[in-house]
Amino acid sequence: MRTVKNAWTFGRGLFRAKLVCLAALAASGSLAGCARLLTITQDDYINTAVHMNRPAASRTGDPLEINIVCVTAADLKLDCNDRLAPGEGITSDVWFQDRPISGDKADMDDRAGRFYLPKSQIFVMTYDKQFYGTKAGTPLRGAATDKEKTLEREFEFSGGLHNDQSVIYVFGKFIGPDGRVMAVPPAELHPPGAYTRDLFVRIGVDSSREFYGQYIDNETPRKLHGKEED
């Protein structure tokens, strides 16, 4: 039987999320954040812009690296993170150009324009052997190749869920025909507490959109802000 690493069933994900939340509550006396379960739905072919110069039938796409990025109000106190603030319009090309690298520290003066976030707040789906953050699996290759239309990834958001400066981004490393990362907007969940614990994004190709149709959308139902348990 084929084993799929880093995937969890829906029920197990909810159970683990509850355990993490209870542990955090017991340890601190208040719940600052808890586990989120992200369900990603993918089209049969994704990240296809890199193949735009091929015949239509062979535009099958390249593997798509995904970064789940958790930004808190404390992170935005650092000047280097201004562009990560909600509403600033951060795009994938900027994130992948300026994301933190190994050795970066919060108090560094010479960061060459890079952002700074703790490794525990970045979850990476990549083939790379070296990366900054927590490994969350391998890149997406589209449902036709992965044989999975949906998959799940669990991660923890430790910031203020209802703080207006808190945000979760899901970036895709969409590559254009010139080999460069395109300025595709990420899926944005702001503030995280305005959504249920179970988050949903969709990745696909829609010819009516910019960037050769490449997109990643937040499809999570919004709940009543601050009125439900997180």
State the SS3 of the chain: CCCCCCCCCHHHHHHHHHHHHHHHHHHHCCCCCCEEEEEEEECCCCCCHHHCCCCHHHCCCCCECEEEEEECCCHHHCHHHHHHCCCCCCCHHHHHHHCCCCCCCCCCCCCCCCCCCCHHHEEEECCCCCCCCEEEECCECCHHHHCCCEEEEEEECCCCCCCCCCEEEEEECCECCCCCECCCCCEEECCHHHECCEEEEEEEECCCCCHHHEEEEECCCECCCCCCCC
In this prediction, residue 27 carries a pLDDT of 35
- pLDDT tens track for 67-91: 999 999 999 999 999 999 999 999 9
- pLDDT tens track for 128-151: 999 999 999 999 999 999 999 999
What is the value of pTM for the model shown? 0.84
- pLDDT tens track for 17-54: 443 343 333 333 333 457 999 999 999 999 999 999 99
